[in-house]
Amino acid sequence: MDVNFTAEEEEFRAEVRRFFESELPKDIRGKIELGRRVSKDDMVRWQKILYRKGWGAANWPIKFGGTGWSVVQQHIFEEERAQSCAPPQNAFSLKMLAPVMQAFGNAAQQEYFLPRILAGEDWWCQGYSEPGSGSDLASLRTSAVRQGDFYNVNGQKTWNTLGQYADWIFCLVRTSTEARQQQGISFLLIDMKSAGVSVRPIIMLDGEHEINDIFFDNVKVPVQNLIGEENKGWTYAKFLLSHERTGNAGIGACKQALKRLKTIAAQQPAHGKTLIEDVRFRDRIARLEMELMALEITNLRVLSGYAKDSKALGPEVSMLKIKGSEIIQSLAELKMQALGHDALPYVREALDLGWRGDALLGEHYKPYAPPLSGQYFNQRKTTIYAGSTEIQKNIISQMILGL
């Protein structure tokens, strides 16, 4: 594999960079640059800007309104997005549900839902994990009993990300208890405004409301909202998770975090010099940078290979997910260590753009380093969500090593 970008790809990079420089709203860019809180309205506004450009879905084929970009172009776009401090798009809508709907949904579902996702009109969230059914997802118990033209849904989903903003939720539900666990699961689309749906916030260690419990109490869902065939949802779920785990490598975001780490180290004093001049700390940065370079090359090699052969993503994405998660956590740890005691204070209001603390507290919030303790605790989750590291290792041992 040639790891160098072609002249055409570099021209594409320049075009993407110019677009971000001219079209990304300054207030949104400022929030990302300073590590501040980004709202749903910010993300929807940015999605609509991308949509008007024709870049609303980098990973979608042209026939569904996507860009039709190559794997390398998608990689460049995401890298430039992170470097330009543009917010991420809603991955649940664009990178998880959409590929499933394009592959397994019917024409009516594709014609109604996909344009609305593309235009930023519908916000989707995911209903997979349940109390007692996380890594062992096949044991889920949320039931969907068919009653004529409707399913009657009862149960609970947990660790639901950003469901407080969602218009719709895609859910794995149990439609049969007669076969083995994986064969009795279906993939259902549920309107969050339906009677019987309730959302309960889960407040995290950093005080943020990012995740939720979702309850379904005799929720009526039209049968037409079933994706594919009844009791075949496990197949669709595995397809979705392969796309999610590839995205979890987070190359672009990691590169931006590495850049921020170097900035912090160049500003922090240490024994009469800056921290970046400390040989041991610089070596740790260099080691992490090399690991990130290796992950980027592996990510491109895996994706290019599957795109060339027109195959579905396979167990190799588990390697990307494991290493990407570990690098994300290592970057957070090094930034915390670089800032020292200034990394410890955490005030929720400091995540709002324009916040000004009192003089004593304000000293701990450096302009080159946003509050890091909250980020550090939040990113401990990366080795758990989308399938824990232990689960990924099991997949690798069984499906690649044949153990």
Looking at residues 368-393, what average pLDDT do you find? 79
Structure confidence at residue 183 (pLDDT): 85
**Range 334-352 average pLDDT:** 79
**CA pseudo-torsion sign 261, 264, 268, 274:** positive
- The predicted pLDDT at position 246 comes to 61
- Mean pLDDT to the nearest integer, 338-352: 76
How far apart CA 118 and CA 63 sit, in angstroms, is: 13
Confidence of residue 244 (pLDDT cuts 50, 70, 90): low
Is residue 278 exposed (0-12), middle (13-18) or buried (19+ Cβ within 10 Å)? middle
- Segment 72-116, tens digit of pLDDT: 899 899 999 999 999 999 999 999 999 999 999 999 999 999 999
Q: Within 10 A of 79 (CB to CB), how many other CB atoms are there?
A: 19
SS3 130: strand
263 pLDDT above the threshold of 60: yes
pTM: 0.85
pLDDT of residue 366: 66
**Average pLDDT over the chain, rounded to an integer:** 88
Asked if pLDDT for residue 365 goes beyond 80, the answer is: no
pLDDT at 403: 64
Question: Can you list the domains of the chain with their CATH numbers?
Answer: 7-89 (1.10.540.10), 124-231 (2.40.110.10), 248-399 (1.20.140.10)
Residues 99, 245: Cα–Cα separation, whole Å: 13
Tens of pLDDT, residues 161-182: 999 999 999 999 999 988 777 7
Q: What is the pLDDT of residues 189-229, one digit of tens each?
A: 999 999 999 999 999 887 889 999 999 999 999 999 999 99
Closest CA to 367 of 378, 356, 379: 356
CB 177 within 8 A of CB 128: no
- DSSP conformation letters of 50-74: HHHHT-S-TTS-GGGTS----HHHH
Phi, psi for residue 255 in degrees, rounded to 5: -65, -40
- The amino acid at residue 214 is I
% pLDDT > 70, the chain: 90
Is residue 281 predicted with pLDDT exceeding 80?
A: yes
Query: 322 near 25, Cβ under 8 Å?
Result: no
Cβ 142 vs Cβ 154: under 8 Å: yes
Is residue 314 pLDDT above 80, yes or no? no
Provide the token pair at 265: 């180290």
Rounded to the nearest angstrom, the gap between the alpha carbon of residue 332 and the centroid of all alpha carbons in its chain is 17
Helices (H), 183-316: 233-247, 251-267, 279-309
> Quick one: average pLDDT of 150-166?
96
Beta strands in 51-196 (DSSP E): 124-127, 143-147, 150-161, 168-174, 185-191
Judge whether 302 and 316 are in contact, CB under 8 Å. yes
For tokens 């042209």, what's the residue? Answer: 62
At which residue do the structure tokens 């609970």 appear? 156
What is the pLDDT at residue 101?
A: 97
At residue 307, φ and ψ (nearest 5 deg) are: -65, -40
How far apart are the C-alpha atoms of 335 and 368, rounded to whole Å?
11
Give the confidence band of 300 by pLDDT, cuts at 50, 70, 90.
confident
Please state, for a pLDDT cut of 90, what percent of the chain lies above it.
Answer: 57
